[in-house]
Amino acid sequence: MNKLKILSSLLASIFPFIALSFIALSFIALSFIALSCTGGFTPDPDSPDVPEVPQPEPKPEPEPEPEPQIKEKPVLLWIDASANFSRLRARPDIRHFLNLAQEAGFNTIIVDVKPVQGDVLYESDFLPKCTKLGITTIENRGYDYLQFFIDEAHKRNMKIIVSTTIMTMGHPTPKGGTGPGYADPYWDDKFCQEYLPSGIRDIRQTDDYGTVFAFLNPILPEVQAYILRMVEEIVTKYDIDGYALDYCRYMNYNSDFSQASLNAFEKYAGLKVDDFPQDIYTFASSDKSDIKPGKHFNKWLEWRSSVIQGIVRDIKQKINSVKPEVELHYWAASWWPLPHTGQNWASNAIDSTTGNYWWATPDYYKTGFAEYIDVFQLGAYLNTVYGSYNNVSVEYAINRCKRIIGDACHIYGTIQCADPSFDLKEGVRLCYRETEGVMVFELSHIINNDCWNSIKEGIEAAKADLSGK
């Protein structure tokens, strides 16, 4: 009995201690469970007895998507010699307008250095210097006009393309005409002979002032030699980026009807013309454009186009032999075909005429010269910008050009700003977006109609289109 009391007293005395110990151990166990559920505790890194707990690698922040890079396209400003002859008489004037052009977004300047009258605005060893255009006379500028343009443009990281008329060597006027073709007897027997209702006459005798110029006969060896000499001289002397051909064609249906052309045609066609020029065409009235085709009319058109094709090819070969890095440009009106001028600017690998035009021979398409140029400047000098089915819109002209040139050369859309009602901003936008470059004609019209901002806005809008913004 006494032992039972002693045992009971002992248990009573130690039970609270056991209970407290149990509670403490339970609390410690629960703490470990909680820590394991929340990722554990952070051990002391200085303790060698505590293993390191690996931490998850932080996820890298996603890199921002790079902005799409839009390649700058050529934006060309054409500067006509005649329209700007007085305006650009002094060097500060040239700097001023180059600055305005650069601010508007132009990166290439086309400098016309041989207007239709035939004398030139560069330092030539054989062609006379142009000292008078219209009512303005500049006897001595005191500097090389073309070289100064080149120097100032290159300072602004702008490219220079030189432009010359090819076939013109005089400007008819009621007082007798101006230019080397009227002043220098050397050219007397080298001009086109026009076939008119009144007969055949030298084209310099025209009374159609403003629309007919004194065109040389492109079939003559002397004329072809002069053209290549001029091209070689400019490309050799000057650090230019391109050469643009202007008026590299026949004047119209009415020229040339010389004996030299007849001989060349007979050789080309492998036939004998019995009645010349009537076998080519006759007239239905006193209107020189009212013609009735003769039996050789179609072949005649093919031959004339082959003549122009040959000249373009020879110019390209000449440039390549001197400075192959110089691009050859050709400007022509967007209307196609142009059989009356001999300008078949299409690819000679794409048959777009056979069966589509009554006058086109099966071989006409072979006279295309797009393969012999680097850039075709599509002269879409129209009043409407959009309209894929409107044949008088810039959009239609671009689409047609792409079809008939293919990948034979680069295509630049070119537009005018002489008409203040034309939507120049949208015209620039369309050409920049849909072709490989854009040219605006020309400086005097931009000044007169204050077009600088419209051009800039058009370029910026096109870039936004291309970037998807």
Full-model pTM: 0.85
State the CB neighbour count (10 A cutoff) for residue 232. Answer: 16
Beta-bridged to residue 329, according to DSSP, are 244, 375
Alpha-carbon radius of gyration of the chain: 39
Q: Which residues contact 385 (CB under 8 A, 6 or more apart)?
A: 393, 394, 395, 422, 423, 426, 427, 430
pLDDT in the model for residue 71: 85
Q: Which residues contact 56 (CB under 8 A, 6 or more apart)?
A: none
The CA distance from 342 to 303, in Å, is 8
Residue 129 buriedness (CB in 10 A; 0-12 / 13-18 / 19+): middle
pLDDT in the model for residue 37: 37
Q: Which residues contact 270 (CB under 8 A, 6 or more apart)?
A: none
- Largest separation between any pair of C-alpha atoms in the chain: 163
The CA distance from 467 to 469, in Å, is 6
pLDDT in the model for residue 246: 98
Strands 199-202 and 193-196: antiparallel
Q: Mean pLDDT of residues grouped by 10 in the chain (469 residues)?
A: 37 36 34 36 41 60 65 96 97 98 98 98 98 94 97 98 98 94 97 98 94 97 98 98 98 97 98 98 97 98 98 98 98 96 98 96 98 98 97 98 98 97 98 98 98 98 93
CATH number among 3.40.50.2300, 3.20.20.80, 3.40.50.150, 3.30.465.10, domain 75-171+216-250+293-467: 3.20.20.80
> Omega of the bond prior to 256 within 30 degrees of 0, cis?
yes
